[in-house]
A and B are shown apart, each in its own frame.
Chain A
């Protein structure tokens, strides 16, 4: 079983939903529409030609300022066939919602919580969508590209008066 056969099987079944097939450095990426994601994932896991029973990784990318802004990557691995495949879904900035795949691979649970926490992408139907790494009262989603790396500038001084004068909350 080779990755070409998997791509052909997907193309035959999901002609409408499959937007693009990218080959780069020996890795295959299927770019699919959001609506067909869950159905495609179930097909990839259960079809005897694919058997991608292992979700290696799930992560998001922020393409800001390009559009569509977000992408969610699903890195799949097939233990029986020893194949790797990446499934990619692009999302618009105004509507960062994607259906959950926790029903197919339970391991997606924490991965999706992490993506929600750091990117603000919501997973529809997720059983427990809470922040996972950051505190509950954290504002914003720090892995977005328009989120600054440093909010409070580093103080290159040993004088407390000087440091305090630059801090806004001291005068409150």
Chain B
């Protein structure tokens, strides 16, 4: 199996036999190819499913169809110019990715972030969590044939995207956070827009819950399906709502608070059985908790600067360029050469809507990182799919994929 540079890896049937059971080789079970163009795989995921009648014997996920080499690109860019790349990893939660990346660079540089910037970051990432969960809820319900929820969810998500457009000029690929703070302060009307959303949303979340929670079809499709035990979930590195659905209390926001999450009161909802239904309930409850956090952050939003005055990581203000030669030089140096962190390595994790999103940066002291690695929660959570799906019906596989909420952009990076 060993291959060297320039050689092509080749496989014989013998080497791939272990992927399926003995019975498949004798022709007693069916091998079914699901994807990569299957609508319920939420992207381009291919699953090789081994079936005994309608029961799943094993699932072999095949990923990589969306691999874009983001980590390789990062090595060839300055630290500031990597931020737009991080948007594209998990395209349903760019704010969380931005936050993880800029906080890792801040850790590397030893930069303090002003409190106002931290609070605005919290508000926006929590809005992002709600938006991401709305997409999940809509598509997940659509997979299990509940059409109306999808339309309602996207209606509310539009309000959040409007707020994002207001602050960053972009609806999805925001790139709003900068090393040391934010791109600019939030515009006028931001607080009113968030307040209007806060006022409307609790009733809407209750509405989604009512639509599904007492629906006998929904209950039959989700309860007791795709169970994963807490021990298995930890061993397979599952994080986020999928882990908490099994009753393990691990939320990075609580365990290792970042960006002043410890200033806010919120609960970590937990499931009991670790099935599709519990993961659904955890996410619904998480949306409510996010609203709580946003409300507190908005009430206590401090005045002050939105980005650190440390000129090492921030460009000089535009008006200064008109009269200061040094500022002009610094401006050009900053945007062409970039800044050089000290040599070393850091790992910073945040709680993205899908779980622990970690960024590892290895710096060699030059303006470009030696290595950037993204610990993508979807990549790790997808690995637990065969455990959840084993023994269930093939129709339930669609519900299980939906319940782990994968984003293929993040799986493949």
Contact = CB atoms under 8 A, between A and B. Distances in A.
B234 A134 contact: no
Interface in A91-131: 105-107, 109-111, 114, 118, 120, 122, 127-131
B76 A149 contact: yes
A120 B237 CA distance: 23
8 contacts: A54-B237, A107-B235, A110-B380, A122-B2, A134-B64, A139-B6, A149-B75, A149-B76
Interface residues of A, number: 50
Interface string A138-150: 1111110101010
A137 interface: yes
B336 interface: no
A127 B10 CA distance: 17
Given A63-B370, A106-B235, A143-B72, A131 B256 contact: no
B69 interface: yes
Contacts of A137: 8-9
Interface stretch (A8-16, A23-31, A153-161): A23-31
Interface in B178-198: none
Given A86-B345, A118-B71, A149-B76, 20 more contacts: A25-B346, A27-B346, A56-B358, A57-B358, A57-B375, A59-B375, A61-B345, A61-B362, A62-B371, A75-B347, A75-B358, A82-B256, A86-B347, A105-B235, A114-B379, A128-B19, A136-B8, A145-B370, A147-B72, A149-B72
B1 interface: yes
Given A25-B107, A25-B346, A132-B64, A107 B9 contact: no
Nearest to A115: B373
A48 interface: no
A100 B29 CA distance: 32
Contacts of A56: 237, 347, 349, 356, 358, 375
Interface of A: 24-27, 29, 53-57, 59, 61-63, 73, 75, 79, 82, 84, 86, 105-107, 109-111, 114, 118, 120, 122, 127-143, 145, 147, 149
A56 B243 CA distance: 13
Interface string B2-21: 11111111110000001100
Contacts of A131: 9, 64
A127 B9 CA distance: 16
Interface in B363-386: 370-371, 373, 375, 379-380, 383
A29 B345 contact: yes
A141 B64 contact: no
Given A56-B356, A136-B11, A75 B64 contact: no
A54 B72 contact: no
Contacts of A61: 345, 362, 370-371
Interface centre among B6, B237, B347, B375 (most CB of A within 10 A): B237
Contacts of A84: 256, 347
A139 B312 CA distance: 41
Nearest to A137: B8
